[in-house]
Amino acid sequence: MTHWRLFQLRGPTGRRSRHLVGRANGEGRVCSALANINLATLAAVSGSGRFYLLQGPPGHDPDAQYVWDTWSRFTGATHVRDVTRALLRLRRMRGLQGMAQGAPGTIFSPPKGVEP
């Protein structure tokens, strides 16, 4: 996923979740609630089982913003916060630098037996 950002929100039931918003496979995308994100590799898996590799610096994609705005209205999300900077700060605090490499903007499956 390129031109990515990380958002935290509270759903209608009061439950908090984090979602990636960005460009993947040539289109704007919002992932379902994140189940896991690897700070070292910037690989993430969503609750629906999709794997994402965050590539390049965070950014803005108009198509992804449109999908996010529509999705967040439809789901009744509240208390929405962009926590991208917090993620990057946490990586720096842990001595992690640089961004992931690979095919730009793709959803990927990790090798068998490897956790993201």
Q: In what order do the strands lie in the sheet with 16-24?
A: 27-30, 16-24, 2-10, 78-82
For residue 98, the model assigns a pLDDT of 67
Token pair recorded at residue 13: 């039931």
pLDDT per residue, tens digit, the chain (116 aa), is 999 999 999 988 888 999 999 999 999 999 999 999 998 889 999 999 999 999 999 999 999 999 999 999 998 888 999 999 999 999 988 888 766 544 444 444 444 444 44
Residue 108 forms part of a structural domain: no
- Tell me the C-alpha distance between 56 and 33, whole Å: 21
* Greatest extent of the chain over all pairs of C-alpha atoms, in Å: 38
Residue 114 forms part of a structural domain: no
Domain that holds residue 25: 2-93
Query: With contact defined as beta carbons under 8 Å apart, do 52 and 3 qualify?
Result: no
Regarding pTM above 0.85, the answer is no
Domain count, the chain: 1
The DSSP H or E segment spanning 66 is: helix 62-75
